Amino acid sequence: MINLLIAEDQAMLLTTLASLLDLEDDINVVHQSKDGQDALDYFLDESNPKVDILLTDIEMPQLTGIELVQAIQSQHLAIKSIILTTFSRAGYLRRAMDAGVKGYLLKDSPSEALLAAIRKIANGGKIIAPELMQDAWMELDPLTEKERKALRLAKDGATTEQIADKLCLSSGTIRNYLSSASSKLNAKNRIEAARIAHQNGWL
């Protein structure tokens, strides 16, 4: 039996996916998470049933799917991860691969492809949409993790002071991160930098 956790912030899709996968004799959906933090909390609670595979979206509140996979790796949890997303951006795929995901599928993939991917990855394989692989290595992500976090908060409308408070850094340091990110992306300001980074899958 493959124990699966689904992390997806769209409630209807989360319920639909869980219902679809639970119909399979060899798949058991043990938990449904509405964001990345809820999924991580579940994994860290040792009283919960063991999870073999995480099926996660990328853009979610609290923790993104990629941050969730990174957290799993840092905690040395024996959970294999599959990204299921609408985003075919090369930057997302590259970051996901670097984080250690075993599968990367688009949400418009047929259900048979998802089921086949889950089973293959449970048996030690990998599934990455081949049409995305070439693009993933065409353009390197120029941002550091700290620049990325600052830009993501700026994209959501946070002020320099609010970003500094959230990241436990000084306002001057945050201004430096945002300035550096804008320079790397040839952007006029933080808002344009955040837009460019988001379009390329670097946020």
User: Which range is least confidently modeled, 49-58, 87-96, 157-166?
Assistant: 87-96
Q: Is the pLDDT of residue 138 over 70?
A: no
CB 54, CB 101: distance < 8 Å: no
The percent helix, strand, coil of the chain (3-state, each to 5) is 50, 15, 35
Q: At 137, is the pLDDT very low, low, confident or very high (cuts 50, 70, 90)? A: low
Task: Identify residue 152 by its one-letter amino acid code.
Answer: R
Q: At 133, is the pLDDT very low, low, confident or very high (cuts 50, 70, 90)? A: low
Question: Residue 139: its pLDDT value, please?
Answer: 60
Q: State phi, psi for 151 to the nearest 5 degrees.
A: -65, -40
Section 116-132 average pLDDT:
88
Task: Identify residue 147 by its one-letter amino acid code.
Answer: E
Q: At 95, is the pLDDT very low, low, confident or very high (cuts 50, 70, 90)? A: confident
Which domains are present in the chain? 2-136 (3.40.50.2300), 145-199 (1.10.10.10)
User: Which range is least confidently modeled, 29-38, 73-82, 140-149?
Assistant: 140-149
Cα dihedral sign for 183, 188, 191, 197? negative
Cα dihedral sign for 125, 17, 60, 185? positive
Summarize pLDDT for 7-64 with one digit per residue, the tens: 999 999 999 999 999 999 999 999 999 999 999 999 999 999 999 999 999 989 889 9
Question: Residue 93: its pLDDT value, please?
Answer: 84
pTM beyond 0.75, yes or no: no
Question: Residue 174: its pLDDT value, please?
Answer: 95
DSSP reduced 3-state for 78: coil
Q: Above pLDDT 70, what percent of the chain?
A: 95
In the predicted model, what is the mean pLDDT of the chain? Answer: 90
Task: Identify residue 84 by its one-letter amino acid code.
Answer: L
- Terminus-to-terminus CA distance in the chain, angstroms? 35
Q: Above pLDDT 90, what percent of the chain?
A: 70
